Structure 1
Amino acid sequence: MAALIVLAVIVVLVVILVAKSVALVPQAEAAVIERLGRYVKTVSGQLTFLIPFVDRIRAKVDLRERVVSFAPQPVITQDNLTLSIDTVVYFQVTNPQAAVYEISNYIAAVEQLTITTLRNVVGGMTLEETLTSRDSINGQLRGVLDDATGRWGLRVARVELKSIDPPPSIQESMEKQMKADREKRATILTAEGHRESSIKTAEGAKQSQILSAEGAKQAAILAAEGERQSRILRAQGERAAKYLQAQGEAKSIEKVFAAIKAGKPTPEMLAYQYLQTLPQMAQGDANKVWLVPSDFGDALKGFAKTLGAPGEDGVFRYEPSAEAEDLPRPEDDSEEVAGWFETKTDPAVERAVRAAEAVARTPVESLVPEHLLGGADEPGELPPAKE
């Protein structure tokens, strides 16, 4: 029984010795080893053998980059406003021996150093500068912390200000100021919009007036051209009508005299025709009284004797002479006036009509010069009239 107890004690001692002599240090950690209370070495990521009851692991240090967030701290600015600022520090242990022997608690040391440095930096700035200079504050904090923590075996990678909270009264004033600024920008934008709308409306009215004036101008030109062509055609028609009327009267007179000559009228027949013509001559409003001369019959006899010759019955009848037969007669239509009676359209008129139809089918915008459509350089400047 005693032997079993002794054997158990020996086994326990062996297990304790083995546990004290072997240490497993994982990767990304460093173990600081002391021998009889004095630093011996630093091991990381390996199996380490120790002398039992002589060597011991003083501390294990995490070699990864660590993120530490500190509670908000009151900081007074240059314009005597108290701000609540909380920071975040990114650091890494680069020398485990210094982190263990140079300072007792490097995390607390980093926190206090961050707070004091933050107060020094922000104390020289106003509220507006503090709110708009985060990058500058972060850079100054990182520089100071990295220099101070280097002897502790630390490397400060980044320092960030997580939030900057002004006092509630200042926040309310800032909100009012921001609201006023937004309302100001909204008013400016609204005014700019009205201005642009007025400019566009005026520009549209200007272009509309220009197009209307150009259209009225083209309409007036076409109306004048149409009136001109109409007057020319009416004048040509009246000329042809008068010519035809004169030619008809000439033909009628020729036929009448030819009939008279052929009929060999006597003084009695001329007197009869004269008496039939008198009522027609008296139909005028200005012809009130007609007197027939008493020697009218003698005058007809003298006229018949002068122009006629006595027949077998002793009555004087008209006999045309040889010279009367050779007198010129009214000519028919000559080549000079042949074109007056053509009914087809004059080529010039036809071209004018086609041009008017083409203008009517053309959009009005194409009739205005390009520089007017894009806006005239000077107000009220109009393009030169097109021929």
Structure 2
Amino acid sequence: MITQDNLVVNIDTVIYYQVTDARAATYEVASYIQAIEQLTVTTLRNIIGGMDLERTLTSREEINAALRGVLDEATGKWGIRVNRVELKAIEPPTSIQDSMEKQMRADRDKRAAILQAEGVRQSEILRAEGEKQSAILRAEGESKAAALRAEGEAQAIRTVFESIHAGDPDQKLLSYQYLQMLPKIAEGDANKLWIVPSEIGDALKGLGGAMGNFGPLTGGGNGGGTPAATGKEPAPRREQPTID
């Protein structure tokens, strides 16, 4: 058979029939078997000639129904009833078969590539989702840790403040503590300016006055500040502390 797109195909057909009128089958046609074969070939040529190769390969039910309709109408007056028509095989040319195999192989490769790409896509999505969840959990952990650190520092400040308040320190003690912290405040190149509360100045004056009471010992009758000769070793001179 020749298809609509001018390709030759070999079709193997099976027809199941039944003689319903022996007289008609004998006298209406010279040989009903040969007549059925010739009618089948002619009908198939007409049907296949209106289809391209792809439709021919995928429309077996349509071809069977069309062929059976034509045979029933023609063989009824011959005393023959066609029960069933089947296409056993439709074989395209060898070159077309090779092309079809290549096309099928290309389709399979295409589907495999699509499936692989889809798998990679799903993998990337899952990986990104996992990284997102990990980042969220990490941020939540850091936030909670920062909150706990801040709470701990606040508690420490409250504890120190309560201890200082319970001890009721005077200005001299606070001034001494401030002097102890001055080296730490001066650490770093960026510390160019110090903020000194005004109360510290008054406290430092009192602290300096208290420490200045321990002055040098001097002897009487010696205007030069030299100890008088008493027969004893002169007492060592005490250096007066200087408050910068």
TM over 0.5: yes
Within the candidate set 174, 179, 188, 2:100 is matched to 174
Alpha-carbon separation, structure 1, partners of 2:78 and 2:132: 79
Q: Which moved more, 1:151-160 or 1:88-97?
A: 88-97
Q: Which residue of 2 aligns with 1:82?
A: 8
Q: Deviations over 1:54-89 (max 9, x none)?
A: xxxxxxxxxxxxxxxxxxxxx111221111110111
Query: Residues 293, 157 of structure 1: CA spacing in aligned structure 2 closer, same or farther, 3 A cutoff?
Result: farther
Structure 1 residue identity aligned to 2:216: V
Larger strand fraction of residues: 1
Aligned counterpart, 1:212:
138
Aligned residue for 1:82, secondary structure, equals coil
What is the aligned counterpart of 2:39 among 113, 117, 122? 113
Name the counterpart of 1:289. 216
Shift of 1:145: 0.7
Q: 1:232 to 1:148 in 2, by over 3 A?
A: same
Cα offsets for 1:326-345 (capped at 9, x unmatched): xxxxxxxxxxxxxxxxxxxx
Output the CA distance in 1 between the equivalents of 2:25 and 2:160.
120
Matched, 1:103 2:29: yes
Structure 1 length as normaliser, TM-score? 0.43
CA distance in 2, matches of 1:130, 1:286: 124
Matching residue of 2:110: 184
Q: Structure 1: 5+ residue runs without aligned partners? A: 1-74, 247-283, 295-387
Q: Secondary structure at the match of 1:76?
A: coil
Counterpart selection for 1:91 from 17, 34, 54 = 17
Give SS of 1:170's match.
helix
* Counterpart-to-counterpart distance in 1, 2:220 and 2:44: 148
- CA deviations on 1:305-352 (whole Å, 9 max, x unpaired) are xxxxxxxxxxxxxxxxxxxxxxxxxxxxxxxxxxxxxxxxxxxxxxxx
- Which has more helix, going by share of residues? 2
> 2:216 aligns to what SS in structure 1?
coil
Closer, same or farther: CA 289–123 of 1 in aligned 2, 3 Å: same
Quote the Cα distance in structure 1 between the aligned partners of 2:15 and 2:80. 12
For residues 201 and 232 of structure 1, the distance between their equivalents in structure 2, rounded to whole angstroms, comes to 46
RMSD: 2.5
Distance in 1 (CA, whole Å) between partners of 2:119 and 2:86 is: 42
Q: Which amino acid aligns with 1:121?
A: I
Percent identical pairs in the alignment equals 59
Shift of 1:117: 0.7
- Counterpart in 1 of 2:64? 138
Which residue in 2 is equivalent to 1:159?
85
CA drift of 1:287 comes to 5.3
Distance 2:78 2:58 in 1: 33
Q: 1:213 offset after TM fit, Å?
A: 0.8
Structure 1 CA distance for aligned equivalents of residues 212 and 101 of structure 2: 106
C-alpha distance 151-237 of structure 1, shift in aligned 2 (>3 A): same
> Per-residue displacement from partner, 1:10-46 (whole Å, max 9, x unpaired)?
xxxxxxxxxxxxxxxxxxxxxxxxxxxxxxxxxxxxx
CA drift of 1:108 comes to: 2.2
The DSSP-based 3-state class of the residue aligned with 2:9 is: strand
1:97-149: CA deviation from partner (whole Å, max 9, x where unpaired):
32233223322221221111111110121111111211211111111111111
The secondary structure found in structure 2 opposite 1:197 is: helix
Structure 2 counterpart of 1:152, one-letter code: W
1:233 counterpart residue number? 159
For the residues of structure 1 that align with 2:82 and 2:115, how far apart are their CA atoms?
47
Measured in 1, the distance between the counterparts of 2:57 and 2:77 equals: 32
d(CA) in 2 for partners of 1:98, 1:287 = 156
Instruction: Give unpaired runs (5+ residues) of structure 2.
Output: 171-210, 222-244
Q: 1:239 to 1:291 in 2, by over 3 A?
A: farther
For the structure 1 residues 88 and 293, does the alpha-carbon distance in structure 2 shift closer, same or farther, using more than 3 Å as the test? Answer: farther
SS of aligned partner of 1:90? strand
Query: What is the CA–CA distance in structure 2 between the aligned matches of 1:285 and 1:148, rounded to whole Å?
Result: 143
Q: Structure 1, residues 257-298: CA drift from partner, whole Å, max 9, x if none?
A: xxxxxxxxxxxxxxxxxxxxxxxxxxx79956245899xxxx
C-alpha distance 121-292 of structure 1, shift in aligned 2 (>3 A): farther
Name the CA shift for 1:224/1:173 in 2 (closer, same or farther; >3 Å). same
Task: Give the whole-Å Cα distance in 1 for the aligned partners of 2:92 and 2:122.
Answer: 41
Which residue is 2:126 aligned to?
Answer: 200
C-alpha separation in 2, matches of 1:98 and 1:117: 22
Larger mean Cα displacement after TM superposition, 145-154 or 90-99: 90-99
Of structures 1 and 2, the larger Rg is shown by: 1
Written as runs of structure 1 = structure 2, the 5 A alignment for 1:271-350 is 289-291=216-218
